[in-house]
Amino acid sequence: MVKAILYKEWIKTRRSVWLAAAVMAGCTAYAFVESGQEFRLSGAVQVWYGAIVKDAPLLPAVMQWVPAFVGVLLSLSQFVPEMTDRRLKLTLHLPAGEDALLASLLAYGAVVLVLLYALTCAVLAVGFSAIYPPEIVGNMVLDSLPWFLAGICAYLLTAWICMEPVWRFRIAYGLVGACLCAFFFVDGPAGACLPAIPYLTLFTLLCFFFPFHSAGRFKEGAR
């Protein structure tokens, strides 16, 4: 069952997955180009001073939104076709447990995102470790962790919104989702987010169950 669902989801979303990979790769390249430019214009001493003493971020500000954008993109490409003409009925009619089917759909998206984010994070860490000390690179990875968690959270919340059958509820869920995602983007000095990461991870795991609520309403025929 899982293999068949993965096959279906891959056929459905492969263009979006390649697009998401291209966006992540483009942003990673942009981060390196911008960092290199800063070294050339300001000099290594000034950049190091900024990074160590002033907590200047290594990554461009736009990077914080990219994982969430990619999460929403993947979720839309996966669940809008399911809800068009209420095709989710076809999926739920398959001879397998409905919860297991839905969990497989969500697990596919979450795994794709984790792979994309992990690869991006690894490339950034390896690249920056050539010019910064490990402590600063470690802080960069820690500080960017909430953004990647926000990406997975945005993916799950978008699935929750897409599968909701009633438009006014979708709008309400959208507002709730935006507020919840805001917790992942709280500013602070380097490493300040560390204590919050377990809670944000727990919350992201909790979001995995939200789409089941919408699917239940879809099954009941909510209007």
Partner 1 sequence: MNPVIQCDNITHSYGKKLIYENLCFSVEEGSVVGLLGRNGTGKTTIINILNGYLRPRSGVCRLFGEPMDRLSPATKARVGLLLEGHIQHTYFNVRQIERFYGRFFPKWKRDAYYELLEKLQVTPTQRISTMSCGQRSQVALGLLFAQDPDLLILDDFSMGLDPGYRRLFVEYLREYARAGKKTVFLTSHIIQDMEMLIDDCIVMDYGRILLHRPTKEILEGFRRYRFTAPGPVPEKLEGLWNTSAIGNRWETYSFLDGEHVAGLLAPFGAENLRAERLSLEDAFIGLTGKY
Q: Which is nearer to partner 1, 96 or 125 (CB)?
A: 96
Cα dihedral sign for 180, 212, 167, 10? positive
Token pair for 187? 């500013």
CB 29, min distance to partner 1, A? 30
Q: Which of the ranges 38-46, 50-58, 79-87, 196-204 carries the binding residues for partner 1, by CB under 8 A?
A: 79-87
Q: Which of 44, 89, 172, 202 lies at the binding interface for partner 1 (CB under 8 A)?
A: 89
Decide whether 95 or 195 has the Cβ nearer to partner 1.
95
Residues 117-146 that bind partner 1 (CB under 8 A): none
Among 36, 86, 115, 118, binds partner 1 (CB under 8 A): 86
Q: How far apart are alpha carbons 102 and 166 in whole angstroms?
A: 19
Whether the CB-CB separation of 166 and 222 falls below 8 Å is answered with yes
What letters, b where the CB count within 10 A reaches 16 and e where it falls short, cover 123-148? Answer: bbbebbeebbeeebbebbeebbbbbb
Instruction: Output the smallest distance, CB 77 to partner 1, in A.
Output: 10
Q: Which segment (119-127, 130-138, 168-176, 215-223) binds partner 1 by CB under 8 A?
A: 215-223
> Binding to partner 1 by residue 168, rule CB under 8 A?
no
How many Cβ atoms are within 10 Å of 114's Cβ, its own excluded? 13
Cβ(71)–Cβ(154) under 8 Å? yes
Q: Judged by CB, which is closer to partner 1: 54, or 86? A: 86
Tell me the closest approach of the beta carbon of residue 23 to partner 1, in angstroms.
21
CB 6 within 8 A of CB 104: yes
Helix 98-128 × helix 2-42 angle, to 10°: 20
Query: With respect to partner 1, which residue has the nearer C-beta, 16 or 129?
Result: 16
Q: Is 214 in the site for partner 1 (CB under 8 A)?
A: no
For partner 1, the closer of residues 106 and 153 by Cβ is: 106
Q: Is the dihedral of CA 186, 192, 195, 198 positive or negative?
A: positive
Give the integer Cα–Cα distance in Å for 110 and 218. 22
From candidates 40, 54, 213, 219, binder to partner 1 by CB under 8 A: 219
Residues at the interface with partner 1 (CB under 8 A): 1, 3-4, 7-8, 11-12, 81, 85-87, 89-90, 92-97, 218-221, 223
